[in-house]
Amino acid sequence: MRYRLMIFDWDGTLMDSVARIVACMQAAGRDIGWGSLSDERVRDIIGLGLPEAIARLCPGIDPERAEALRQRYSYHFVEGDVTPMPFYPGVVDGLARLRADGGSRLAVATGKSRRGLDRIFHERSCGHWFHASRTADETLSKPHPRMLEELLDELGVPVEEAVMVGDTEYDLEMARALGMDRIAVTYGVHAPERLAASRPVFTADAFPELIDWLHA
């Protein structure tokens, strides 16, 4: 195994939740009368913490409307929308393969809230797959490296023995700020050329490719 610690983004990297995120944010925008939010604009902010995402998505929005947008987005995501959110092909088997190596550890670093991540862990019975996790609302949002620093401290792994895996420049730049190796996956939200600017050590077009490379 190339690394002792492998840290994964969630949305767009492990779980194919992009369509649901886009639909729910667009519905929330309509609810508060903000107007049309394009697919491209919403996809661009996936990975950020929700307050940071809203500020970037809706420049100049006042705090009251931002809070209303946050609440309506949360409603649609949890209750109002039923767009399926499967794991990407190869994720379940691939993570099981990594877990079978007793010397490696797995973690999650996500822009989701703690409540949101724990809900998914419970619904999919997958929380035990990971040794640790960090969410944007309990530390700082990507691309600030704070959540990676906290995961390294918690698990006692030096930065040179860890890698960050993600589908956005926010994931990769977070790792780059620490000098941590980073792997890009191209099936998520940011274009390959945008990911390449962060100089990943490997780029995977499918999750099984990533697993094979980690085991090489």
Q: Which residues are catalytic?
A: 9, 11
8 Å CB contact between 24 and 53: no
β-bridge pairing 181-185 and 162-166 = parallel
The DSSP-derived string for 53-83 is HHHHHSTT--HHHHHHHHHHHHHIIIII---
8 Å CB contact between 181 and 201: yes
Provide the phi-psi class of 33: left if phi over 0, else alpha when psi is between -120 and 50, else beta. Answer: left
